[in-house]
Structure 1
């Protein structure tokens, strides 16, 4: 007996139930012309909107399945090239098979039950079927199969979300900085394409009081890049905690990158900052990455004359430290290129704004200068919640979610007379609000 399936729901929460007006493409696999005519007449009597196709053998049916997007198969179990359950098994072995209703001339229920156990959605006995029963069986079979597909899709989505969360936790760890006077503000927003990126950051304080900070970006998007980013960040933290000399860390991280990369052309840009124990200066290592921004009364790029190659680029040259003296209070903003690659939205009040002059249709990038201006604006409104406010300002300038993911790490020190605890915040923008 056919029973109503539990009404499924689409991933957006709307009911996904067949309506009487929905067109159902049905493939009848029947070698007997008389039975085929009878089935066609019964479907005409049923209250189902059907587009009927016919095959007289299983091989022909398999060929037609490649030509038509079929919702349901009506299958006779006695075909010239398939007898019994072999036809059911072959049809069910296809990827994403359509709904399947078996037609049998046997009045006993054993063969029909066996067909359902083999993957069919229902069975009907020839000679005991009217139009309403046939139409209802087809509709229920399609609805049941659709519900199963949606449940599988929901499960896969939940699994992917869980995997993404695990990867993001590996990419975006909790900073290991015990000096409470050091401010550590971090943030990450995914790109509007929904793909997980390979941006990562970290901050670790060593036993000698120095603080090592890192931000990196794996070229490309997707789970492979995210997994590689998580691997490299873990390797970097391990090397830092093992008291490896700072100038030896990037070469060793590259040794991890080369065998772990999914493709030989994958490269990674990195920025490593070593804050001295007395907080008076930093050693800066750049591997194809942008220098940090120095945040004091105003915002500027940290001066540097040395920018080494990205990790994974097969050319000569390494990475050397460049020392920069800092006057307290100071803060450094390490960031990935998702922020400066943002394009400017057009101002409706000023036609033509947001486009490159002389290049119609080409959007102007925010660039480093635009990011400096955005950060300056937010510094003027105070330092609290700086990372989130910068993200929001860049999004507003872009006119919506960024095309690329972006990560930010701000580390700062108020000076030797600082009494208050440094700000510790994390903006991991994975909510619905940030995807709109």
Structure 2
């Protein structure tokens, strides 16, 4: 489909909603207007029927588990679920097997995505205590960011050498995205719980082990170091009310040097859900109190928090059923993130315009992604149509993750994604994917 005309849409873009049409040619938005007529017979026309047209979502934090952990997910299966959830671009994390800590391994992941991804893609490079020379080789125009684990991680990705950390913050050519939890506090809390309960620690204690104190201590250190060195810092998955004070809403996003993100699960779940969901909502950082959840939503709306992401991190059902110390943290979210946010819209907790700002516009601005994240003439035609009044229930048979389950199982969402376009090509329509073609592109960055 080289030419596509979407008619009769309610376009949600740049802080307003307006009725109109969008004309696409060769994957580019050519015209946005109140009314556009097809000028030739080779135009594919989609009648939006008054449904809402959003820019394609950009998820800046996913774990698609390839290479090395593909029994949980792959770039193909993860991106396929993502486009069903309206996510047209993703940035994937480096803690795979092997870990993405050399240029050679980074380019291998780009090769895998080029061959199998349904959505546009980029990857973060992984920092360690020993790979500063490799970090300095990364091209900021073609790679999303540098990921640092300042708390527990797999393999050797915990960066805990203070001198190395300051060097990385001082010299990194890339935006630094950080997982902030204090390892010393976590290990002390875990040791006390193991001494009392053994391996079968009640999961309700997860937010006590990975505590608000652990989050704040690590986040505040990262923010202080960024201020000292002038580094561009993005703090992943803020999960506590206390951390909000570390961030500012005084500047336009493009002028902020320190930014923050919240994840879907920290906006939806709280500690009262552990009794029913158990280890299936065990994440790092932990889902915490209702007070934290409510404060995070307010901070998001007040622009102290800049981005919503998923931290999609699937594990098999069997892995998640293990006792506390053996059950891995993380869960699958890319297919259900937008429906969950639209449910919050129906509950009058957040506006459509704010959802688009935090999941489309702001990731594009923050990472300086070229020509995506907005419905603008000259931009890539990554677009999502949603029907706000088409209820559906999350069940295993309509869950697309390779791991085969969702923390939202049993939830009925009021809104449905009806169409997803990637670079002007229809890739998903009403619970069905179009035959796979290589339409997804590597993200590039205006730096």
Computing the radius of gyration from Cα coordinates, the structure with the larger value is: 1
Higher relative contact order (CA 8 A, sep 6+): 2
